[in-house]
């Protein structure tokens, strides 16, 4: 077992939970122990919050890691991984913390190092600020992983909105295939593709809210966009979501708007539409969120990868820097922050 610790300073880069999650995944994948200091130093509430603690404890469970500092508010954690163990896992965040982000910590170790299929269920928030929505996770994120050869399926059994959460995400992960590289330079449209506005209304909110979201989206995007409303009247918390789902590329893209108290339905729709149009007008095939999420699996793929993204984000740059601490493989990001750019991963 490796004895040299990798030290991660959480005040560097974007200074959020991504550094923790990616480092935990990389530690499990490489067998290299990691120590964290100044966890989430740039956030209004530094240290581990519920979803970050869930990520630490979940990562430890799948590999029987030795951990210190795993408690709410902690800014120092040490993590020494053991061998990955496939199995049936259930993790409860206990708040509306993002289930997707806990899954991001676990999926690649179970996919690449597991001895058999795994089932992962996570209870918490499925639609939250600063996290992939349930629709993005089950459509775009899994779409890319399946295109790379990963056998993974994700579904949202029930939605969970702020502040009560109570949603349930379920993932089935089957190891056994080598991941393939990804080359994407242009936005290639399929002849059967379409653009859809999906409006989700949770709790006791009236369906008319979702209908207004759909109308606003179609008014802005034109007749080529279709729309539908899905109701979840028994959700623990009320919530409203707009998703522009673009099925015209080789992997579908999803752009997300989240409702809030006092926020008009039209503004929720505009949030998703604006993000979609900003991406679409660049002609780049990979959206900004997928750009950083693709890095981790691609550094373990066999062969070189290259893709163009509609915007370079601080998350992407932080992901690049964290990967270099664990893996000796060339990862290059070309372009300016906030502008279209290119990602290159050497063979």
CATH architecture of 180-186+283-347: 2-Layer Sandwich (3.30)
Q: Cα(165)–Cα(34) distance, rounded to whole angstroms?
A: 30
Average pLDDT over residues 303-328: 96
Give every CB contact of residue 257 below 8 A, 6+ residues apart in sequence.
213, 241, 242, 243, 267, 268, 269, 270, 271, 272, 273, 275
Task: Judge whether 276 and 244 are in contact, CB under 8 Å.
Answer: yes
β-bridge partners, 296: none
Q: Is residue 130 over pLDDT 90?
A: no
* pLDDT score at 345: 98
* pLDDT score at 80: 98
Tens digits of residue pLDDT in 255-286: 999 999 999 999 999 999 999 999 999 999 99
List 52, 127, 289, 315, catalytic entry:
315
Burial tier of 216 (Cβ tally within 10 Å: 0-12, 13-18, 19+): buried
Highest mean pLDDT among 154-158, 211-215, 231-235: 211-215
pLDDT band at 1 (very low <50, low <70, confident <90, very high): very low
Highest mean pLDDT among 120-124, 155-159, 173-177, 236-240: 120-124
CATH class as words, domain 1-82: alpha beta
For 210, what's the count of Cα atoms within 13 Å in the CB-facing half-sphere? 23
* pLDDT score at 34: 98
Nearest of 74, 122, 78, 121 to residue 97 by alpha carbon: 122
How many beta carbons lie within 10 A of that of residue 98, not counting itself? Answer: 32
Helical packing angle, 17-30 and 50-63, nearest 10° = 0
Task: Judge whether 292 and 267 are in contact, CB under 8 Å.
Answer: no
Give the fold, CATH level 3, of 84-177.
UDP-n-acetylglucosamine1-carboxyvinyl-transferase; Chain (3.65.10)
Tens digits of residue pLDDT in 133-146: 999 999 999 999 99
Q: Cα(82)–Cα(79) distance, rounded to whole angstroms?
A: 10
Nearest of 184, 97, 111, 170 to residue 146 by alpha carbon: 111
* Domains of the chain, residue spans: 1-82, 84-177, 180-186+283-347, 195-277
Nearest of 289, 344, 341, 277 to residue 310 by alpha carbon: 341
Tens digits of residue pLDDT in 14-56: 767 889 999 999 999 999 999 999 999 888 889 999 999 999 9
In CATH, what number does 195-277 get? Answer: 3.30.360.20
Q: Cα(5)–Cα(257) distance, rounded to whole angstroms?
A: 40
Q: What is the mean pLDDT of the chain?
A: 93
Nearest of 47, 31, 223, 9 to residue 109 by alpha carbon: 31
Length of the chain measured in residues = 347
* pLDDT score at 44: 84
Helix (H) / strand (E) containing 291: helix 288-298
Phi, psi of 176 (to 5 degrees): 130, -15
Domains 84-177 and 195-277 alike in fold: no
Q: Is residue 293 over pLDDT 90?
A: yes
Q: Cα(240)–Cα(201) distance, rounded to whole angstroms?
A: 5
Q: Is residue 188 over pLDDT 80?
A: no
Q: What angle do CA 59, 29, 65 make, to 5 degrees?
A: 40
Whether residue 315 lies in the annotated active site: yes
pTM above 0.85, yes or no: yes
pLDDT band at 105 (very low <50, low <70, confident <90, very high): very high
Task: DSSP letter for 74, please.
Answer: -
Q: What angle do CA 174, 143, 100 make, to 5 degrees?
A: 75
Q: Is 265 helix (H, G, I), strand (E, B) or coil?
A: helix
Q: Cα(113)–Cα(15) distance, rounded to whole angstroms?
A: 28
Sheet containing strand 66-68, edge to edge, reads: 6-9, 34-37, 77-80, 66-68
């Amino acid at each position: 077992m490796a004895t040299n610790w990798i030290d991660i300073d959480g005040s560097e880069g974007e200074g959020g939970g991504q550094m923790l999650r990616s480092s935990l995944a990389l530690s499990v994948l490489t067998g290299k122990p990691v120590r964290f200091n100044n966890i989430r130093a740039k956030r209004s509430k530094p240290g581990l919050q519920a979803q970050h603690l869930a990520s630490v404890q979940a990562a430890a469970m799948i590999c029987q890691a030795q951990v210190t500092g795993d408690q709410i508010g902690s800014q120092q954690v040490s993590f020494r991984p053991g061998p990955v163990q496939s199995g049936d896992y259930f993790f409860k965040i206990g708040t509306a913390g993002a289930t997707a982000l806990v899954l991001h910590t676990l999926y690649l170790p179970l996919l690449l190092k597991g001895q058999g299929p795994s089932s992962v269920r996570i209870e918490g928030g499925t639609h939250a600020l600063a996290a992939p929505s349930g629709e993005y996770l089950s459509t775009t994120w899994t779409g890319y992983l399946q295109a790379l050869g990963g056998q993974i399926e994700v579904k949202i059994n029930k939605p969970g909105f702020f502040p009560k959460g109570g949603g349930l995400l379920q993932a089935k992960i089957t190891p056994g295939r080598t991941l393939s590289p990804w080359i994407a330079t242009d936005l290639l449209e399929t002849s059967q593709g379409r653009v859809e506005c999906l409006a989700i209304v949770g709790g006791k909110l009236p369906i008319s809210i979702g209908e207004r979201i759909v109308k606003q989206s179609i008014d802005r995007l034109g007749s080529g966009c279709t729309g539908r409303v899905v109701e979840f009247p028994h959700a623990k918390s009320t919530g409203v979501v707009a998703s522009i789902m673009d099925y015209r590329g080789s992997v579908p893209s999803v752009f997300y708007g989240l409702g809030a108290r006092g926020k008009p339905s039209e503004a929720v729709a505009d949030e998703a539409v604006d993000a979609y149009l900003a991406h679409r007008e660049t002609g780049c095939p990979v959206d900004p969120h997928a750009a950083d999420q693709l890095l981790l699996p691609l550094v373990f793929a066999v062969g070189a990868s290259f893709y163009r993204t509609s915007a370079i984000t601080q998350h992407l740059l932080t992901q690049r820097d964290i990967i270099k601490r664990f893996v000796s493989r060339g990862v290059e990001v070309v372009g300016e922050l906030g502008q279209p750019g290119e990602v290159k991963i050497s063979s």
